[in-house]
Amino acid sequence: MIIFILAALVLLMIQGGLSQAFGLTGNTVLLFGLSAIFYSKKNPLTISLVLGLMMDLASGLPDGIFLVAAPVTIFSLKSALNRFFSKRDQRYIEFLLVLASVLTFYLISISMIGLFNLLNLSAYVNWKRLIFDKLWLDLVLSAIFYYPVVWYHNRTLKLSRHARPV
Amino acid sequence: MRFIYTKTFRRLFVVLVLVAFIIVSDAKGYLSKAKGIFFEVYGAGTSFISNSAAKTKNFFATFLLIKGLSHENDLLKQKVDELAFENARLKAAKQENQTLRRALNFAEETELGLIPAVVKFLDPTGFTQTLMLDVATDAELKLNAAVVSQPGLLVGKITNIYDNAVEVTLITDPSIKINGIVVDSGASGLVTGEHGLSLRFDLITHNEVIKPGDKILTSGLAGDFPKGILIGEISSLSSSPSELFQKAFVQPAADLRNLKFLFIVAQ
């Protein structure tokens, strides 16, 4: 778990650094969490909470927004995956789920920001810019960034099948 | 079994308490120290990655720039070849011209005596279109002498001479007025500055034909500027048939934003 947290922290740093240098904004930390949930059975609740807390700390928003948004997103997607797609080939559906997770994450985050505003916790954001500008870019970047994860997973699956004794 | 006794409920309850605790702690400022440590670590890491990414970006940008320079170099080489041919042709024409002048007893054209100068600084306020030149102390300088860049492109004229510097007013200053002549059609008019942006070619009669792309030289009529120095190129026409004279905008031939070495015409 410590290695996972450190890896997530490094990924968050990379995301922040690249955002400063190139202006790229893809939410790689969320993708990291999703891939961990899809491909690993290890404590998804803790993983999503840690990721949410990290995003909260790194952002200028009050703590708690991503702490709620990340677990809700990840668990709703995990639930959808288990309920509807568990017995099918997940390679292509995963992309759809990733895009859906980005969309869900945005919707929940914006809802949480609205809730924080109601509680006078000063969480102002330009939601129009978020929805009409940043969201679309994030969707595209998430699909691009997630491709290597799926590719690597498929490759390791094939290798493990070949290695299986007859 | 009731839901409240399930493991899921217990987990959910713990998470909700944790989230509430973090929200309240943050709102009250209890997490400031922990956040400070996180910001130190995250900030250091992010700045390291950002700097590394910026260096990489600059490296590739330089690479692309070099690639572009190579292409530009090829184009310039081609241009040099063309100009070398043109130069040889013009030299032959010049020789023929001199021979004919001698035959007709015309006065010989004098060569431009050029005094080299280095640009010291530009007007930092931007209120005027002037620059200061560093010139050799033994140079014989005259007020209103023309200043050109190396290929014979008009830059401005001397408006003040100090002990260790010379003030030059650029041709884009509205106070400068130059008698110009269009190379192709021979149309003459007055070139004036347009507040540092471009030049205006005015007082051209309607029977003269001017068009964008035409080059304008100094006509040498007023005496300040010697004849035959390139002022610029007509970028667009701005006159209507109802006006008394034709007008045009002129793009200066010299790159006035990037001046380093200049020459004072000591003719």
Which has the higher per-residue pLDDT, B134 or A147? B134
CA A55 vs CA A65, A139, A143, A156: distances in Å: 9, 18, 20, 30
> Which residues of A lie closer than 8 Å to B, measured between beta carbons?
9-10, 12-14, 16-18, 20-22, 45, 49, 53, 56-58, 62-64, 67-68, 71, 121
pLDDT value for A5 = 81
Tokens 């001046």: give the residue: B259
Q: Looking at CA atoms only, how far is residue B23 from chain A in angstroms?
A: 5
pLDDT band (50, 70, 90) for residue B124: low
Answer for the pair B237, B231: CB distance below 8 angstroms, yes or no.
no
Q: Looking at CA atoms only, how far is residue B71 from chain A in angstroms?
A: 27
Q: Report the C-alpha gap between B161 and A153 in whole angstroms.
A: 77
Q: Report the C-alpha gap between B133 and B113 in whole angstroms.
A: 17
CA B80 vs CA B73, B122, B217, B230: distances in Å: 10, 31, 22, 19
User: pLDDT at residue B109 above 80?
Assistant: no
pLDDT band (50, 70, 90) for residue B196: low
Set of chain A residues whose Cβ sits within 8 Å of the Cβ of B26? 62-64
pLDDT band (50, 70, 90) for residue B110: low
pLDDT (average), residues B49-67: 80
pLDDT value for B76 = 92
User: pLDDT at residue B199 above 70?
Assistant: yes
User: pLDDT at residue A141 above 50?
Assistant: yes
pLDDT value for B126 = 55
User: pLDDT at residue B249 above 70?
Assistant: yes
Q: Looking at CA atoms only, how far is residue A11 from chain B in angstroms?
A: 10
pLDDT band (50, 70, 90) for residue A166: very low
Token duo for residue B30? 């209890």
Which has the higher per-residue pLDDT, A161 or A143? A143
Set of chain B residues whose Cβ sits within 8 Å of the Cβ of A45? 11, 15
pLDDT digits (tens, 9 = 90+) for B170-190: 888 877 889 999 988 888 899
Q: Looking at CA atoms only, how far is residue B90 from chain A in angstroms?
A: 52
Contact A21 B57 (CB under 8 A): yes
Long-range contacts of A81-89 (CB under 8 A, 24+ apart): A81/A38
Of the candidates B25, B49, B57, the beta carbon closest to that of A14 is on: B49
A20 CB-near residues (< 8 Å, 6+ apart)? B46, B50, B53
pLDDT value for A124 = 62
Lowest mean pLDDT among A140-149, B175-184, B200-209, B210-219: A140-149
Give the chain A residue whose CA is nearest to the CA of B30.
Answer: A63
Contact B49 A49 (CB under 8 A): no
pLDDT digits (tens, 9 = 90+) for A71-81: 888 888 777 77
Mutation to test the B interface, candidates A10, A20, A116, most B Cβ within 10 Å: A20
Set of chain B residues whose Cβ sits within 8 Å of the Cβ of A71? 15
Contact B23 A18 (CB under 8 A): no
User: pLDDT at residue B153 above 80?
Assistant: yes
| Structural domain boundaries, residue A20 | 2-163
Report the percentage of chain A scoring pLDDT > 90: 0
Q: Report the C-alpha gap between A23 and A141 in whole angstroms.
A: 12
| DSSP code, position A164 | S
How many independent structural domains does chain A possess? 1
Lowest mean pLDDT among A131-145, A152-166, B42-56, B243-257: A152-166
A147 in helix, strand or coil? helix
Of the candidates B11, B39, B53, the beta carbon closest to that of A17 is on: B53
CB atoms within 10 A of CB B206: 11
Contact A13 B15 (CB under 8 A): no
Lowest mean pLDDT among A22-31, B15-24, B209-218: A22-31
Q: Report the C-alpha gap between B110 and B221 in whole angstroms.
A: 15
pLDDT digits (tens, 9 = 90+) for B22-39: 888 888 878 777 877 887
Q: Report the C-alpha gap between A2 and B181 in whole angstroms.
A: 79
Amino acid, single-letter form, for residue A161: R
Set of chain A residues whose Cβ sits within 8 Å of the Cβ of B42? 9, 12-13, 16, 57-58
Give the chain A residue whose CA is nearest to the CA of B47.
Answer: A17
Answer for the pair B101, B108: CB distance below 8 angstroms, yes or no.
yes
Contact B52 A17 (CB under 8 A): yes
Token duo for residue B84? 């070398």
Top mean pLDDT of A42-46, A148-152, B183-187 is at: B183-187
DSSP string, chain B: --GGGSHHHHHHHHHHHHHHHHHHHHHHTTTHHHHHHHHHHHHHHHHHHHHHHHHHHHHHHHHHHHHHHHHHHHHHHHHHHHHHHHHHHHHHHHHHHHHHHHHHTPPPPPPP-EEEEEEEEE-TTSSS-EEEEEE-TT----TT-EEEETTTEEEEEEEEE-SS-EEEEETTSTT-EEEEEETTT--EEEEEEETTTEEEEEEE-TTS---TT-EEEE---SSSS-TT-EEEEEEEE---TTSSSEEEEEEESS-TTS--EEEEE--
Of the candidates A20, A63, A68, the beta carbon closest to that of B46 is on: A20
